[in-house]
Amino acid sequence: MRDVLLTAIRGIGFGSIYAMLAVGFVVIYKSSRVISFAQPALMLAGAVLVSYLAGPIGFYGAVLVAALAIAALGLGVERATIRPMIGRPVFVIAIITLGLDIAIRVVVNAFIGSDVRNVGDPWGLSAVDVFGLPVQERYIAMVLVLVVTVGALFAFFQYSRYGLAMRAASLDQETAMVQGVSVGAMMALSWAIAGGLAAVAGAFVGAGGGIEQNTWIIALKALPAIIIGGLDSVGGAVIGGLLVGLVESFFATYQGEYLPWLGQNFSLVSPYVLLLVVLLVRPYGIFGTREVERV
């Protein structure tokens, strides 16, 4: 039972990271119907910035500055490369985001170097006793940061004027436009939010183990999370991210013992197996909107 609980806690911890990244994907998708493949690069850029700033200004200050800086980068990227493509096929825009991802990572990799970089988090692998269980502090921090960021985002969407405008624009751009909403500004805002979330996620991805050039691959686990949760649901992205984390963690702990015939490291592909199972039952994800087309 103790192992099961520790495995679940680890899954929820990493799942919180996937959830934050997944929310970023969903926010951009809702504003522009495009899946941004630049999220891994933004995550890595945020992590690198934290690794450089944590020394001089402390970890928490570094996370805040990195979130703001990557949000600004998201704004710039949207204005320079995505906005001119409005009205073009979504596939073309998705490919542009793929190119952006590669370009940003090339620059960021130069700052990472060939070794592992420590992000300067205050927890490392230390644990605290929670009801007799040695729970790693970084997992608690990951869950807390998810609660805070998603809570803030929820409040923004629910109670602020611009949050309401973003929700409206995601439902119908033309009708939002005729209310005086600048749809372009809403898209830029979505890229800024996604960038900020990616940067925070990046800082926590590196907590305990540091970052290296291949850390970006972790962000790809948010893709099954958004498909599982439903591409257009922020709540679904959170649930999807947590589910991916849990499934991955349980496979990592128990697959070797109970399903050895699946081979080594099956946990790495387990999110995609979960994705397949969910899509077979619910093709639009758990919370996704079923698209109905009049024929």
- The one among 33, 79, 83, 167 contacting other proteins by CB under 8 A: 167
In one letter, which amino acid is 11? G
DSSP codes of every residue in the chain:
-HHHHHHHHHHHHHHHHHHHHHHHHHHHHHHHS---TTHHHHHHHHHHHHHHHHHHH-HHHHHHHHHHHHHHHHHHHIIIIIGGGTTS-HHHHHHHHHHHHHHHHHHHHHHH-SS-B----S-TT-EEEETTEEEEHHHHHHHHHHHHHHHHHHHHHHHSHHHHHHHHHHH-HHHHHTTT--HHHHHHHHHHHHHHHHHHHHHHHSTTT-B-GGGGGGGGGHHHHHHHH-TT-HHHHHHHHHHHHHHHHHHHHHHHHH-GGG-TTGGGTHHHHHHHHHHHH-TT-SSPPPP----
Q: Which is nearer to other proteins, 178 or 281 (CB)?
A: 178
Of 56, 87, 91, 179, the one binding other proteins by CB under 8 A: 179
Q: How far is the CB of 285 from other proteins (least distance, A)?
A: 16
Closest CB 77 distance from other proteins, rounded Å: 23
Exactly one of 58, 172, 259, 263 binds other proteins (CB under 8 A); that residue is 172
Interface with other proteins, residue 3, by CB under 8 A: no
According to CB under 8 A, which one of 94, 177, 220, 262 is a site residue for other proteins?
177
x/- site string to other proteins, residues 249 to 278, per CB under 8 A? ------------------------------
> Which position among 2, 3, 178, 257 is part of the footprint of other proteins (CB under 8 A)?
178
Q: Does 168 bind other proteins (CB under 8 A)?
A: yes
Residue 182 engages other proteins in binding (rule: CB under 8 A): yes
- Report the nearest approach of other proteins to the CB of residue 75 (Å): 19
89 binds other proteins (CB under 8 A): no
26 is a contact residue toward other proteins (CB under 8 A): no
Q: Total residues contacting other proteins (rule CB under 8 A)?
A: 16
Among 3, 129, 174, 293, binds other proteins (CB under 8 A): 174
Residues at the contact surface with other proteins, assessed by CB under 8 A: 161, 164-165, 167-168, 171-172, 174-182
